Amino acid sequence: MFLGKGRNLRIGGIDLVLFATSTQRLRISNPLYRPFVVAAGAEGKSPRIPIRLKTDLWPDYRHLAKLFDTQDSWSLHGDGERFWISLSPPPHEHPLWVAGFDRRVKRVDLYCQVKPAKNGKKGIVDLPLVYPLDQLLLMHFLATRQGMLLHTAGMIYKGKTYLFTGASGAGKSTFSGLLAQAGVGRLLSDERMIVREIDGAMVAFGTPWSGTAGIARNGSAPLAGIFFLKHGKGNRCEKLDPAAAGDLLLPLASIPWYDPASMAPIIAFAKRLTAKVPAYELNFLPDRSAVDFFLEFIKRTS
């Protein structure tokens, strides 16, 4: 699918807007992103991340401190005010792309290669606006704008969103599979969701970053409940204290731990989120009874 000419990438209700020369065709090959390509200006005004595509002389950022390194793919350099992300997976010695941005992500400079034009057509740029770049940009963008990216599954049911979260192995994929088999609600993700505060309400968004179940849908609705999953010997649900729920939520959030100035507002937002939205510990059996129990529970408590 191609971007440009009035089409933007919108994730979490935030537009990633590309600015490029007229001689470039901008392509995202991953099909999971197709539902997130929207007409520019659709659905009113959205926050924007302007991204200027550059294919000329690449920047030299290596003199800056290395703040993070995955050792096998991307690394991040910075000076506390401006950051540079580069992707150099083995066996590549030189980066496949480099992106520079300020802390508030008011502007992104993206350096990548253009495939030569053929048969008189424009050169094609395979945009790296997929994982990990889009996640990292949005993580920083949300930090100072009342939002966060969470390691969680989620669905829309009767006009409200519910999150099903926990550490790896807690049961996000299992519970998502049970909901899918039962045909309950509209699953948005089995892996990652974005939560933002908009006009005083907490709203949860699906993302293109799926888990093992491959669920990645574009959709959003006001958030009505957060459920911390646990495999159990029976189906049981207990309400959590908001402060305790906030502490449980933080390890599941995408946080730039290398940047203290961005950490603080995300931590504050997690506390605000669990103060406004009820959170529960949900122990469940891996069968249809868990779905029936959950539906009855939200019916009683809504």
Domain boundary among 130, 158, 179: 130
Are 151 and 122 found together in one domain?
A: no
Give the model confidence (pLDDT) of 88-133 as tens digits: 888 777 888 999 999 899 999 999 887 766 665 677 888 888 989 9
Phi then psi for residue 109, to 5 deg, are: -105, 115
pTM attached to this predicted model: 0.93
Domain boundary among 130, 156, 184: 130
Higher per-residue pLDDT: 38 or 120: 38
Are 120 and 233 found together in one domain?
A: no
The answer to the question of residue 138 being in a domain is no
Are 225 and 124 found together in one domain?
A: no
Are 284 and 157 found together in one domain?
A: yes
Are 216 and 275 found together in one domain?
A: yes
Give the model confidence (pLDDT) of 137-191 as tens digits: 999 999 989 999 999 999 999 999 999 999 888 899 999 999 999 999 999 999 9
Terminus-to-terminus CA distance in the chain, angstroms?
Answer: 41
Q: How many Cα atoms sit within 13 Å of 13 on the Cβ side? A: 24
**Distance of alpha carbon 125 from alpha carbon 19, whole angstroms:** 12
- Give the position of tokens 């950051």: 83
Amino acid at 43: E
Are 297 and 176 found together in one domain?
A: yes
| Structural domain containing residue 292 | 146-301
The CATH number of the domain where 288 resides is what? 3.40.50
Are 155 and 277 found together in one domain?
A: yes
Phi then psi for residue 41, to 5 deg, are: 85, 0
3-state SS of 157-193 is: ECCEEEEEECCCCCCHHHHHHHHHHHCCCEEEECCEE
Q: Give Cβ neighbours of residue 226 (< 8 Å, ≥ 6 apart).
A: 152, 162, 163, 165, 245, 249, 273, 274, 277, 278, 279, 280
